[in-house]
Amino acid sequence: MALGQGYEVALFRAEFEITAVPASRRIAVTADNRYVLWINGQRLGRGPLRGTLEAYQVEIYDLAPYLQPGRNVLATEVRWMGQNTPTAEVHSGWPGWWVQELDLHLSELDTPGNWKVHVDEAVRPSDAEPFSNVHAFLGRLDHVEAARRPSNWQTLPFDSSTWLEAVACGPSVYSPGWGLAPERQLASRRLPALEEIDRDFVQVLDQRQPSTLPWTLPSKTGGEVWLDVGALTTSYPELSFQGGAGLEVRVTYAEGLGRWTNGANGREWIKAGTRADLQRDDPHGVYDELILPGGDFTFEPFHWRTFWFLKIEISAGSEPVTLAGAHHRFTGFPCDFSSTFSCAEPEIERWSEISLRTLRLCAHETYEDCPYYEQLNYVVDSRLQALCAHYLANDTRLTARCLELFRDSLGPEGLTGGRAPSHPRHLIPPFSLHWIAMVHDYWMWTGKSGCALVHSCLPGIDSVLVYFRGHLTDHGFVGPTDGWAWVD
């Protein structure tokens, strides 16, 4: 994969043969920046888990349940996002794909081995007009020329004979010799994979009126259709198209409905107080762009999207086009919220439902301040979310991960980052005090089982306290500090 300013997308395949299905065949994998992995056309996983270069995450998969006697194929799509990398992603400047077999007598799937690669130039960052501050934190969404992408390349019948041989690029930047650290120090992922749950849209709307799928536009006719989830979700939409070769499609992800107004800064879109007034308001937000290949084609974004409504706009062209089907797969951290809440006041019951949904939408590979705009793990937001997960699900796994990330963000001034992972590093001194309180929350909940993590945080806690003691005034109050003096 070549270095570049924006997206670099590579498709990798490794075909291999077995005489019988083994009881186990485990591999360790990671990529810079992100990957989706398939075995024999079946999606196996995504990664790597968000983290740091000093503990770059590695996923372990057992291929055995998906293997078949004879020929098999392992395939992956790897994206290196360059300057388009989301703020919450920390990676190196060196893209790549790494696989290692964990059975000592096997090395067939080790990279580069017999891996083949195709540089996919069909995907690039969209040049869409920025929406709010989303692009500043999440980067650009995708522009996909679908006809230029290989079809069914994750499956065995596909012919990859014209693809390039993958090559080893050697140790990245630094050699471990002479005491120099490697660019990435690998660490095994301890969190489970995010859940993905199939769900249907609750309604289809054509010109604000209820409609159904399939939804067809005749030739030389453009149009749009809205899909309503019923509430905000974090999901992978799957949209199935038929025909329409060369037509441009815009898939807009709307947090809610709103309206266009003429304000002091010109024409601007304002979210409505009631987010789902279908007769007055319109969906607007970030969007992916597609150029349809014709025939049967299903679009799914590489990363999950946040939306309540999808607005699908299709340009006019010489061919008719049909949106044949649509559904979405909700994704989030797998957590069993088995507790119950009841109240005689119906409105408060409704608040409880909304609060729990919000908690689930803000929990993925870390806790998040918001899934639509930033997807960042801030100390104060995470502490509140962690307490809810403790009490509502008796689950501390994501809490532990966030505590580690904050611990490992300690800087030379003696404070944790205000959010982690984050590039660039972000400093809100009071948030380091909240991190100490979050460690205490975790200790009080876990007791002896959490002592190892708590002990590992103690040097950082001392560092934070020393910092604040050094900023006390003669009156015993904290004086001016570094970074952003913000209390939440």
Q: Model confidence over 292-351: pLDDT tens digits?
A: 999 999 999 999 999 999 999 999 999 999 999 999 999 999 999 988 888 999 899 889
Per-residue confidence at 86, pLDDT binned at 50, 70, 90?
very high
Lowest mean pLDDT among 1-15, 396-410, 443-457: 1-15
Residue 165 has pLDDT above 90, yes or no: yes
Instruction: Choose the weakest-confidence range: 1-5, 19-23, 150-154, 422-426.
Output: 1-5
Q: Which of 108-117, 126-135, 327-336 has the lowest mean pLDDT?
A: 126-135
pLDDT at 444: 97
pLDDT at 320: 97
- Residue 105 CB neighbours (<10 A): 5
What integer is the mean pLDDT of 149-170?
93
pLDDT at 376: 97
Backbone torsions φ then ψ of 336, nearest 5 degrees: -95, 95
Q: What share of the chain in percent tops pLDDT 90?
A: 82
| Residue 272 scores a pLDDT above 90 | no
pLDDT digits (tens, 9 = 90+) for 3-19: 345 679 999 999 999 99
Using DSSP, state whether 458 is helix, strand or coil. Answer: helix
Split at pLDDT 50, 70, 90, the class of 486 is confident
pLDDT at 270: 87
Q: Residues 45, 192: contact at Cβ < 8 Å?
A: no
Q: For residues 420 and 460, what is the distance between their CA atoms, to the nearest angstrom?
A: 15
H or E stretch at 77: strand 70-80
The amino acid at residue 130 is P
Mean pLDDT of the chain, nearest integer: 93
28-42, 232-246, 340-354, 440-454: which has the minimum mean pLDDT? 340-354
pLDDT at 160: 96
Instruction: Band the pLDDT of 176: cuts 50, 70, 90.
Output: low
Complete domains list, the chain, with CATH: 8-120+150-189 (2.60.120.260), 196-332 (2.60.120.260), 346-469 (1.50.10.10)
The pLDDT assigned to 87 comes to 95
Report pTM: 0.94
pLDDT on residue 232:
97
- Residue 394, pLDDT > 90, answer yes
State whether residue 351 is helix, strand or coil. helix
Cis? peptide before 48, omega within 30° of 0: yes
Encoded tokens for 466: 């020393």
pLDDT band at 137 (very low <50, low <70, confident <90, very high): very high
Instruction: Give the DSSP H/E element, type plus range, for residue 280.
Output: none
CA distance 6 to 121: 12
User: What's the sign of the alpha-carbon dihedral 108, 113, 115, 116?
Assistant: negative
- The answer to whether residue 226 scores a pLDDT higher than 60 is yes
Cα angle 324, 325, 327 (rounded to 5 degrees) comes to 165
Indicate if the pLDDT at residue 2 is higher than 70: no
Percentage of residues of the chain with pLDDT beyond 70? 97
- Distance between CA atoms of residues 179 and 317, nearest Å: 62
Cβ proximity of 144 and 290 under 8 Å: yes
CB 25 within 8 A of CB 106: yes
- What's the CA gap between 1 and 97, in Å, rounded? 9
**pLDDT(175) > 60:** no
- Per the model's pLDDT, the better-predicted residue between 68 and 352 turns out to be 68
* Bridge pairing between strands 142-145 and 286-291: parallel
pLDDT reported for residue 102: 96
DSSP state of 417: -
Of 32, 255, 303, 377, give the one whose Cα is nearest residue 141: 303
DSSP state of 213: S
Confidence band for 474, pLDDT divided at 50, 70 and 90 = very high
Backbone angles phi, psi at 118, to 5 degrees: -130, 125
pLDDT at 1: 38
The count of other CB atoms within 10 Å of the CB of residue 104 is 6
Pairing of strands 56-62, 186-188: parallel
Amino acid letter, residue 107: S
Among 37-46, 79-88, 186-195, 220-229, the range scoring the smallest mean pLDDT is 79-88
CA distances from 196 to 69, 191, 328, 367, 372 (A): 29, 15, 9, 17, 18
Q: Quick one: average pLDDT of 57-73?
A: 97
Beta bridge partners of 49: none
In angstroms and rounded to an integer, the radius of gyration of the C-alpha atoms of the chain is 24
pLDDT at 206 over 70: yes
What would the two tokens of residue 288 be? Answer: 């992916």
Mean pLDDT of 201-217: 97
Mean pLDDT of the 13-37 span: 97
pLDDT at 20: 96
pLDDT for res 447: 96
Determine the average pLDDT of the residues in 147-162.
96
Q: What is the pLDDT of residue 6?
A: 64
